[in-house]
A = this chain, B = another copy of it.
């Protein structure tokens, strides 16, 4: 069996500027996630960062990528539109996408959702409890009825997203809010999983349950559908009908008075 080719994108800005963040993620958030996932025998991991040429997301890299993971925060605006276009096209053609935490406000996620992806937030190191609400889904497997995070940034509703295809997790926050923390959508042939936990100033990407869910997510968004349909990215003309059509007395250019065909 061939491995799943995963590319972890991280803007990688906070970790180089802020000493506090650097202590938590000395190799970057992408490095911490990559280290965990490299232990999985079915995953092949590479990383990409903002400062690389084309943010490390060249045509060649994306074409070889089965699943793209995305983390960004203060540098969303610096992601070039040509790369956003490219990622969108690859998702429509079957690349899986896992969007993490503040990636909710990335150009890539907004483009695929069609909404503003706004929310409310508070940074007060409060407790979060992420409840499983769909016991039927592979992404929720193996993490018990909930995941508890002792210190987290709060994200609260109303979260401006399209209704998910599947709602998997809902977060409770100590300060009084709730949030749809784990959800899936499909766009074209591509599957998308958004998972809320994670922030640069908390060691949440070291949490084994969070990493477990992300790994479940990677496996689930990997394309396993039908590659033979048309309609993605084009309007195909079908010149020959599949069935024999009845004779038509209506044809542009052949009839002089189309207004006589007006229906009541």
Q: Residue A167 at the B interface, CB < 8 A? A: yes
Question: Do A231 and B138 have beta carbons less than 8 Å apart?
Answer: no
Contact across chains for A241 and B203 when beta carbons are under 8 A apart: no
Interface residue? A82 (CB, 8 A) = no
**By the criterion CB–CB under 8 Å, are A263 and B186 in contact?**
no
* Interface residues on chain A, size class: 35 or more
Question: Is A186 a contact partner of B163 (Cβ separation < 8 A)?
Answer: yes
Q: Which of A5-13, A48-56, A174-182 lines the interface with chain B?
A: A174-182
Chain B residues with CB below 8 A from A133, complex form: 157-159, 178, 180
Q: Which residues of A contact B (CB under 8 A)?
A: 20, 23-24, 88, 92, 105, 111-116, 118-122, 124-127, 129, 131-138, 140-145, 150-151, 154, 156-160, 162-163, 165-167, 170-178, 180, 185-191, 201-204, 206-208, 223-239, 241-243, 245-246, 248, 250-253, 257-259, 261-264
- Given the known A-B contacts A232-B135, A237-B120, are A162 and B177 also in contact in the complex, defined by CB atoms under 8 Å? no
